[in-house]
Amino acid sequence: MKPFFGGLGYCFAILVLQVQGTNYRFYGREPQRVSPLRFAHRPVARHNLRNIQAAQDTVHTPERLCKSRPLDLVFIIDSSRSVRPAEFEKVKIFLSDMVDTLDIGQDATRVAVVNYASTVKIEFLLKTYFNKVDMKQAVSRIEPLSTGTMTGLAIKNAMEDVFNERAGARGRSLNIPRVAIIVTDGRPQDKVEEVSIQARGARIEIYAVGVDRADMQSLRLMATPTLDDHVFYVETYGVIEKLTSKFRKTLCGEDSCSLGNHGCEHICVSTAASYNCKCRDGFNLNEDKRTCAKEVRARVTVDPCKCEAQLAFQKTVQSSIQSLASRLDEVARKMQQLENRLHNK
């Protein structure tokens, strides 16, 4: 009997070892989610604006992040009487900073600027400048028009006179995105909904930036859905430059991992929208999506339950059963003999 039960116990132990031979992964805690900011910081004291700009100039390195998918990009800027001269200078600084983040070129991103108030002035077209120096100089020469706020008219002019191949926009077959960024601080004096629908129907993606007294409902009517991604608000022109980093991510395709590994224990991999952490060979990514755990495998040097071993085991079991049956027959024969003797007496 010992070989029989010993064989059963041996195979059972091997089966248990196989079940436990899967990979073990050690997980950390679930990460906490942080909601993204939709608005720039609140206004700061006027005497600190110079310090903020100096700090931005220190850390800002043009072209450091922009992978630059090619764009046909048109800025539509409000220069009505409600925009004071000092505030309009802030808008021009914002435009220059945006130019710095883009890969400007004939085969890269092309930029145009539409200036508007009661009338519309196209400052330069998509085909006018293909280098940053000339483009920024042109931006610095823009003067406010200082009258009403005909935002709908400005969108119409941009759609018809700027976003076309004669003005430097690339053909539809090239699939170059057409993007408009509208910056305004007031309420439009004309209709914006219908013309904005027409522009979006012409595959123009519209971002609406409101400043100070801007009418939020009008911004929503102009912008491309989803509104959370296309409508922005800042409380003063003094902090509009803070939107540069937001548009850099949206328009350029920011190389997130160039800023650091974001807590990735092994490898940071940039994606179109953000980044992912990955692990080196032999490691698995934990549930926190940042740290890595080494794979642990139970090693089995011999697997006696494969085909040949199973056949040998079956033969051993059959032999044990036959031996046991033979012994039982012998016991039964002897019991019969004993019974006969007792009966004869």
80: closest CA among 119, 117, 115?
Answer: 117
- Contact between 151 and 122 under an 8 Å Cβ cutoff? The reply is no
For CATH 3.40.50.410, the residue range(s) in the chain are 46-53+64-254
The two tokens of residue 115 are 């200036």
Q: What's the DSSP call for residue 124?
A: E
CATH superfamily of 46-53+64-254: von Willebrand factor, type A domain (3.40.50.410)
Cα 155 to Cα 201: distance, rounded to the nearest angstrom: 13
Q: What's the DSSP call for residue 115?
A: E
Cα 114 to Cα 120: distance, rounded to the nearest angstrom: 7
pTM, entire model:
0.58
What is the SS3 string spanning 207-269? EEEEECCCCHHHHHHHCCCCHHHHEEEECCHHHHHHHHHHHHHHHHHECHHHHCCCCCCCEEE
At residue 19, the pLDDT reads: 41
At residue 67, the pLDDT reads: 56
CATH superfamily of 256-316: Laminin (2.10.25.10)
Cα 256 to Cα 273: distance, rounded to the nearest angstrom: 9
CA count, 13 A, side-chain hemisphere, 125: 15
At residue 66, the pLDDT reads: 58
At residue 328, the pLDDT reads: 83
- Contact between 110 and 99 under an 8 Å Cβ cutoff? The reply is no
For CATH 2.10.25.10, the residue range(s) in the chain are 256-316
Tens-level pLDDT at each residue, the chain (345 residues): 545 445 545 544 444 444 444 333 333 333 333 333 344 433 433 333 333 333 333 334 444 445 557 899 999 999 999 999 999 999 999 999 999 989 999 999 999 999 999 999 999 999 999 999 999 999 999 999 988 999 999 999 999 999 999 999 999 999 999 999 999 998 999 999 999 999 999 999 999 999 999 999 999 999 999 898 999 999 999 899 889 888 887 776 555 666 667 788 888 876 655 678 889 888 999 988 889 998 876 555 555 556 666 777 777 888 888 888 878 888 888 888 787 777 776
Other Cβ atoms less than 10 A from the Cβ of 227: the count is 14
The pairs formed by 27-36 with CB atoms below 8 angstroms and a separation of 24 or more are 27/286, 27/287, 27/288, 27/293, 28/286, 28/287, 28/288, 28/291, 29/287, 29/288, 30/287, 30/288, 31/288, 31/289, 31/290
Which residue type, as a one-letter code, is found at position 144? P
Cα 136 to Cα 115: distance, rounded to the nearest angstrom: 15
The DSSP element (H or E) to which 89 belongs, if any, is: helix 85-101
| Residue that has been written with the tokens 């056949």 in this structure | 311
